[in-house]
Amino acid sequence: MSKGLSVVYTPEAECRINVDIIFVHGIAGDGFRTWKETGEGGSSCFWPHDLLPRIMPIDLHPRIMTFEYSGVILQSQSGNKKFIHDFSAELLRCTGEKRNEDQERKRPVVFISHSMGGFVLTECLVLTESRGGQNGGVGR
């Protein structure tokens, strides 16, 4: 999976999308492996795609995305802060690009994060607030 924001699921009738769900992985994870379970016999389940859409209420039609960044653990704590800020700015930029039409910016966005992804997401929300919430409707 490439770095940035990737769409992993859209409903059959794309015009009916009424919520965006974005997954943000943690340290040493990635946008696919973090959310995937491999069972006995090699079968696997990528639950944001394979399970989540099936359990959504009938009136919710999500577009589901994963945010991919380099979750490498750094030696310097000051370096960690800078990199978390950089990843957060990239998440905000990518989200704004995917939610660039007025209709997309108005619909709700739900973030699901794991581990360091929670720090990336928190910093992203701080950045959104500092920019007046003008980034893909993230701050609404």
* Span 102-123, pLDDT tens digits: 889 899 999 999 999 999 999 9
Residue % of the chain over a pLDDT of 70: 83
| Closest C-alpha to 109, from 19, 25, 31 | 19
pLDDT at 79 over 90: no
pLDDT at 81 over 70: no
Q: Does the predicted TM-score (pTM) go above 0.85?
A: yes
pLDDT at 35: 96
DSSP lists the bridge partners of residue 109 as 20
- Residue 96 located in a structural domain: yes
- Residue 136 located in a structural domain: no
Domains in the chain, number = 1
pLDDT: which is higher, 86 or 8: 8
- Residue 135 located in a structural domain: no
Helical residues (DSSP H) of 16-76, grouped into ranges: 47-50, 52-55
What is the bridge-based pairing of β-strands 44-46 and 62-68?
unpaired
pLDDT: which is higher, 86 or 20: 20
| Closest C-alpha to 120, from 104, 138, 102, 99 | 138
- Residue 16 located in a structural domain: yes
- Residue 140 located in a structural domain: no
Write out the residue range of the structural domain in which residue 117 sits. 4-130
- Residue 139 located in a structural domain: no
pLDDT at 75: 47
What rounded mean pLDDT belongs to the chain?
A: 86
What is the bridge-based pairing of β-strands 44-46 and 109-113?
unpaired
